[in-house]
Structures are given as structure tokens and as C-alpha cells.
Structure 1
Amino acid sequence: MTTPDILLYTANTMNGWKPLIFLHEAEIDYELVPISFSKKEQKAPDYMKLNPNGRIPTIVDRGNDDFAVFESGAILWYLAEKYDRFLSHNPKERSETLQWLMFQMGGIGPMMGQAMFFERIAKPNGDDVPFATKRYVDESRRLLEVLDTRLAGRDWLVGDAMSIADIATYPWARSYFWATVSVEGLPHLQAWFDRMDAMPKVQEALQLPEPRPSAFGKGDIDAAAKANAARFKEA
């Protein structure tokens, strides 16, 4: 049996799902190494040699002298170039893809991540900061409105097919429930969700390394929220 080129270290988070979605949609064989936050495996010395920031995801390309890539956006760009998938050859569309990828990396991710922190971690642990919570929830909503405007009259963020910009943005934007951000009145965004939701391999990827339905407003939300808050309290 041939050893896959790509060795993927990841966890079931919004950033952690990005390379999984790419690899499943592109039907690329890979080896998965789940990272346990409770065991602080992301801070293990051997792992930090691959990812100095001690975060997930990280890939190692065995087919390229064990070249390591960290940061989820950089991983998507690397995979897109390696496998010639989900990245246009047209220079303008290529630039647009990079722009929307950076929009996710610099806006959607950080803002929704902070909204999730203050709503799902700080508040349940007795550190309710209404000003900060409102600031990040409101900014997250504004950014989702930008996406809604972009998606008016188009199926995908760039061009006429799914790109790494869609792959990067979907896990974050689709987790609006967990960030307590409303998507009411955003029909183009919701139609885009429906398109991504209907893709079997995307949904397959979201089950790994283990399912986390609470991120998308499903399952036992209360139990998941309590467990999540408790995990960070103990960290």
C-alpha cells in the first residue's frame, strides 16, 4: 500500500476542517493525525518543530522532502497549487481568490472566534463582558453581510466554481450559531450555505476527526456548551 504524500495534523475546529474539506472534495489520499487539545498535543515539542505557533492544522508533504506547512490559509494555497484544484489559472480570479481567502483569515475567522470566546467561554465561566461580546458579534454580522452582498447573483465567492476561498470561509460562516450571530435577512449567504451543505464530501469532512454538531446548532447544545466552557476553564 502506498503511503500518502499528505500527513495532516488537525482537530474538529473551524480552521481544522479546512484542509479536510479540500482533501475530501479533491479525493486525495492522506494520513490523519488527530490532535487532542485536552492532552495539549499541539504544544508537544515534536509538533512545535512543524508548527512553531502550537496550533492546528499542520500538514507535512512527504512527497516534497517532508515539507511542513502551518496556518490553514497557507495550507489551502499549498494544496491548491500542488494538486491544481480549487484555484483558477486566470490571474485576476487567482488574485480575487487570495483576496477573499485573506478576508476570511483576517476578518471572518478572528471576529467570529472572539464572539465565540466571549459567548461560549468567558460568559459561562463568570467573566461576562457585554461591551466586548457586542463588539465581536456585531462585527461578525457585518462581515457576514459583506459575504451576502458578494454572493448576490453568484454561486461562489470567486468565478463559477468552488475555490479555496469558499472552503476557508464555509466552516467559520456556517458556525454562526456557535458565535450567536444572526443570519436573518441574508438570503444569498443562506443559499450558499445550502449549496455547501448539500455536498456529501464536505459533510463527510466535517465528521472528522470526530463530529461536532453543536457548532452548527445541532445535537445536545447545552451539554456541548458546558463541556466546551469547562475545558477552557481547566486549561
Structure 2
Amino acid sequence: MIDLYFSPTPNGLKIRLFLEETRLPYRIVPVSLSRGEQFEQSFLAISPNGKMPAIVDHAPASETGTAALPVFESGAILLYLAEKTGCLLGSSAMERVEIVQWLFWQMAGLGPMAGQSGYFRVYAGEQVPFAIERYTKETARLYRVLDTRLADRPFVGGSEYSIADIACYPWIVPHDAHGQDLREFPHLQRWFETVRARPATQRVYEGVADVYTKPGAPVQPAATSRTQQS
């Protein structure tokens, strides 16, 4: 059994997507970010950085020498679960390299930059035009990188759906809040619709509100052309 310490943010949703795709048994342990539960000592013992998601695997491999194994950081969790199950990590050594590269790309680039874009466009207490422009443009650049990657392959890692797709998808879901129009990225849009149609994706996102929905908060309009986004 996997305990998933969870809030429905893009990073939290990544792990649910993996668990639903593989049908691993799990239970959700809600973490209320608004109440600061991620900073409670009981959670910090699992996730020292005070960030969600985290998991506790109550059936780890015997060589770990422990009955319950905590893992934090969404990218590390995806890699751990893929290695544990032998799922969604490619069929060859070369595919695995490709998938891990794009997993790290998401963790280092797409997630942080899109997160900053969403924050300054929706949540910031004051409008900071320089920050909005900077992060919206950088998010557009990363969307273009992904669009180019998907021009000649069905999935981010290559021919198979993988943890690279699972890592990226939740950060494309709130594209409007990021100031991006998917019509500007046709290969990315095709991939997005394919992943959205997967049964596991539909189960995970059923009833999930947009993480950037904040009543009364202004949302900056999306750029309308590649020229504006460059």
C-alpha cells in the first residue's frame, strides 16, 4: 500500500496519474496547504523540504531493509515508482535515458517557470508587469521546446507513454493561467488531447478544480501570437 500525501496541485496530480495508470493500491492522505499542514513535524519527517507530494511505501523492496519507505519530491517519486513496478520507464536503455532527461527537464524548467507565471499572473497581491512578462515569455519558450519535441513522436519520451508525459501534463492543464494558447503549439495540443483522453487521466481529474482559480483575482490575457511570446 502506498500512502500519498496529497493536495491537487500539478505536482500532486502527477503522482495520482502514475498510481491510477498502474493501478497500484494507494490511499490519499490530504495535506491542506492553506492551513500549513506541510510544515507540521509529522510531515517534515517524510518530506524535509516541507513540500507536497510525498509518499510512504509500505511494501518496499526487501533490500531497502525497512518496512516503510518515505520518498519526497515528485520527480524522485515518479522515478522510484517506475523502477519499483517496471512500468512507464521505456522498453530499452535508450528509451529510459530519453524519458529521464525529459523528467528532469520538467522538474528543472517547465514546472518552476510555469509555476512562477501562474503565481504572478493570478496570485500575487500586486501586479508586477516585469515579472508577468518575464515568466510568461519563458513559459512560452518551454512550451515551444515541448512542441518541437512532439513534432515527430507521439509521446515526450518517444513511442510510449511514460513518466515524462505524466510529469509534464499537469503543468500544461492550466495553460490559460500561464498565458498560453495551445493553438500556437499544434504538436503539444495534439499530445495534450491524447493524454487528456486516457481513462486514468479522466479518473484523476474528475472533480478537480483549476489550481489557479481564485475568486476575484485578475488573470492576465494570453499572448495572441508567437511574436508576442518570443
TM range (shorter): 0.7 to 0.9
Alignment of 1:185-204 (within 5 A): 185-204=184-203
- The separation in 1 between residues aligned to 2:164 and 2:5, in whole angstroms, is 21
Looking at structure 2, the residues matched to 91 and 21 of structure 1 have their Cα atoms a distance apart, in angstroms, of: 23
Q: Look up the match of 1:73.
A: 75
Distance in 1 (alpha carbons) for counterparts of 2:29 and 2:147: 35
Superposition pairs of residues 134-173 of structure 1, within 5 angstroms: 134-173=133-172
In the other structure, the counterpart of 1:32 is 28
Gaps of 5+ in 1: 216-220, 227-235
Consecutive unaligned residues of structure 2, counting only runs of 5 or more, are 61-66, 219-230
Residue 211 (structure 1) aligns with:
208
SS of the aligned residue for 2:98 comes to helix
Question: Identity of counterpart residues, as a percentage?
Answer: 43
Distance verdict in 2 for CA 1:222–1:132, change over 3 Å: closer
**RMSD, matched Cα:** 1.6
How many angstroms apart in 2 are the aligned matches of 1:86 and 1:200?
16
Q: Does the CA-based 8 Å contact 2:8-2:211 persist in structure 1?
A: no
Please give the secondary structure, in 1, of the residue aligned with 2:179: coil
- Residue 59 of structure 2: SS of its match in structure 1? helix
- Whether the 8 Å contact between 1:115 and 1:136 is mirrored in structure 2 is yes
Query: What residue in structure 1 maps to residue 50 of structure 2?
Result: 54
CA offsets 1:162-219 (integer angstroms, 9 cap, x no match):
0000000000022211222232321100000110111121121124xx621465xxxx
1:116 aligned partner, one-letter code: G
Deviations 1:54-98 (A, max 9, x none): 110000011122111000000000000111110024111111111
Aligned equivalents of 1:74 and 1:214: distance in 2? 22
TM (normalized to structure 1)? 0.86
Which structure has the higher relative contact order (CA within 8 Å, separation 6+)?
Answer: 1
Using the alignment, how far apart are the partners of 1:13 and 1:214 within structure 2?
6
Query: So what's the TM-score if we normalise by structure 2?
Result: 0.87
Deviations 1:11-32 (CA, angstroms, capped at 9, x unpaired) = 0100010010000011111011
Name the CA shift for 1:131/1:202 in 2 (closer, same or farther; >3 Å).
same
- Name the SS of the counterpart of 1:184 in structure 2: helix
Residues of 2 paired with 1:222 and 1:10: CA distance?
20
Q: Which amino acid aligns with 2:54?
A: T
Do structure 1's residue 223 and structure 2's residue 223 form an aligned pair? no
What one-letter code is carried by the residue in structure 2 that aligns with 1:50?
A: I
Count the aligned residue pairs: 212
- SS of residue in 1 equivalent to 2:55: strand
| 1:119 alignment partner, SS class | helix
Please state whether the residue corresponding to 1:161 is helix, strand or coil.
Answer: coil
Letter aligned with residue 96 of structure 1: E
Q: How far is 1:121 from its partner?
A: 1.1
91, 108, 111: which one aligns with 1:109: 111
Q: Deviations over 1:151-172 (max 9, x none)?
A: 0121101131100000000000
What is the CA distance between 1:130 and its match in structure 2? 0.6
Deviating more after overlay: 138-147 vs 172-181: 172-181
Q: Which runs of 4+ in 1 moved over 4 A?
A: none
